[in-house]
């Protein structure tokens, strides 16, 4: 009798690269590095394209390291959520030991590139973002909604890193870009948490400010979105940009605020999803507007 042929899942180079892309959350990493790149281009002085390339490479590696360590730590929790169960570690395509080694290699390489090819402060900012994300934000997610505040700190480091990489110092412009990205993360993450609330609760993550999809959570998202409106004028007031960026940033800030207001009024999934997508639009538009104004 003819024996059945057992087909195993192919472990090709393409599939392995895909796994590492998921492990490092490369789509998320590209958005993070985009913020650093825009800050680098916005910073005063001539653009050094070699340093710019090293910023991109170092930024991708450090971000992939933080994301990878996060997946190693949360591997058992990722199995419980629909959106993360297919990641390489919870799905069994990558061992925790391999993930830990990859995280260390990504992190060491990224910090070295930032410190050696740019400056020491850039390397330290890269290291700080890894440590805060993995050792503070990740364990706090199951304990308190305050985790979003903690996570917003490493989340706002990229523009600070980009400015320091370009200038070698912390200027007022750097802290302004940090502040914008810091405040933006609250309505951004709370909108995501609203949409994914049921999935997050499967793993015991407490992401919404009140723990529930209610008017209080929506109000806090509205409050932080409103705080971004006056910040849009600050680049002009400190001589960092001209009126063009003020007009663009004001327009996109009002649109973002309108979406947050709609969530506060309606408190439904549709409004939360619109706010989530609006947050994806807001930040790159602000950053691109500042670069255009410099040119």
| Residue 278, domain member (yes or no) | yes
Which residue range is the domain that position 106 belongs to?
Answer: 18-169
Shared domain for 141 and 249, answered yes or no, is: no
Q: How confident is the model over 159-208, as pLDDT tens digits?
A: 999 999 999 999 899 999 999 999 999 999 999 999 998 888 888 887 88
User: Considering 169, 186, 203, which residue would you say is the last residue of a domain?
Assistant: 169
CATH number, domain containing residue 23:
1.10.357.140
| Residue 7, domain member (yes or no) | no
Shared domain for 124 and 186, answered yes or no, is: no
Shared domain for 160 and 195, answered yes or no, is: no
User: What is the rounded average pLDDT of the residues 215-242?
Assistant: 92
**Contact status, residue 228 vs residue 283, Cβ threshold 8 Å:** no
Shared domain for 116 and 63, answered yes or no, is: yes
> Which residues are CB-contacts of 76 (< 8 A; sequence separation ≥ 6)?
90
| Sign of torsion over alpha carbons 275, 162, 288, 33 | negative
| Residue 6, domain member (yes or no) | no
User: Considering 144, 169, 194, which residue would you say is the last residue of a domain?
Assistant: 169
Shared domain for 158 and 195, answered yes or no, is: no
* pTM for this prediction: 0.90
| Residue 12, domain member (yes or no) | no
Shared domain for 113 and 39, answered yes or no, is: yes
Q: How confident is the model over 26-53, as pLDDT tens digits?
A: 888 888 899 999 999 999 989 999 999 9
Judge residue 100's burial from the number of C-beta atoms within 10 Å of its C-beta, 0-12 exposed, 13-18 middle, 19 or more buried.
middle
User: What is the rounded average pLDDT of the residues 267-275?
Assistant: 95
**Contact status, residue 213 vs residue 197, Cβ threshold 8 Å:** yes
| Residue 51, domain member (yes or no) | yes
- What is the distance between the alpha carbons of residues 143 and 201, in angstroms, rounded to a whole number? 12
**Contact status, residue 99 vs residue 78, Cβ threshold 8 Å:** no
Question: How many structural domains compose the chain?
Answer: 2
Q: How confident is the model over 279-290, as pLDDT tens digits?
A: 999 999 999 999
């Amino acid at each position: 009798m003819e024996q059945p042929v057992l087909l195993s899942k192919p472990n090709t180079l393409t599939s392995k690269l895909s796994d590492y892309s998921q492990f490092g959350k490369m789509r998320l990493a590209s958005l993070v590095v985009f913020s650093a790149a825009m800050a680098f281009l916005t910073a005063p002085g001539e653009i050094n394209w070699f340093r710019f390339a090293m910023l991109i490479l170092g930024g991708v590696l450090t971000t992939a390291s933080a994301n990878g360590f996060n997946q190693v730590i949360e591997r058992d929790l990722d199995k419980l959520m629909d959106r993360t169960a297919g990641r390489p570690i919870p799905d069994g395509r990558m061992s925790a030991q391999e993930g830990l080694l990859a995280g260390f290699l990504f992190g060491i390489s990224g910090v070295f590139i930032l410190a050696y090819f740019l400056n020491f402060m850039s390397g330290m900012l890269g290291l700080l973002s890894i440590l805060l994300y993995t050792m503070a934000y990740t364990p706090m997610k199951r304990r308190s909604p305050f985790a979003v505040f903690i996570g917003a700190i490493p989340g706002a480091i990229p523009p600070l890193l980009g400015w320091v990489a370009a200038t070698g110092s912390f200027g007022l412009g750097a802290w302004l870009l940090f502040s914008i990205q810091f405040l933006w993360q609250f309505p951004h993450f709370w909108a995501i948490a609203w949409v994914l609330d049921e999935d997050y609760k499967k793993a015991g993550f407490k992401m919404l400010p009140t723990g529930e999809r209610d008017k209080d959570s929506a109000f806090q998202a509205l409050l932080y979105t409103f705080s971004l409106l006056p910040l849009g004028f600050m680049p002009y007031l400190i001589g960092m940009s001209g009126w063009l960026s003020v007009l663009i940033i004001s327009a996109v800030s009002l649109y973002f605020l309108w979406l947050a207001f709609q969530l506060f009024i309606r408190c439904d999934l549709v409004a939360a999803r619109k706010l989530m997508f609006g947050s994806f639009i807001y930040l790159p538009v602000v950053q691109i507007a500042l670069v255009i104004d410099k040119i």
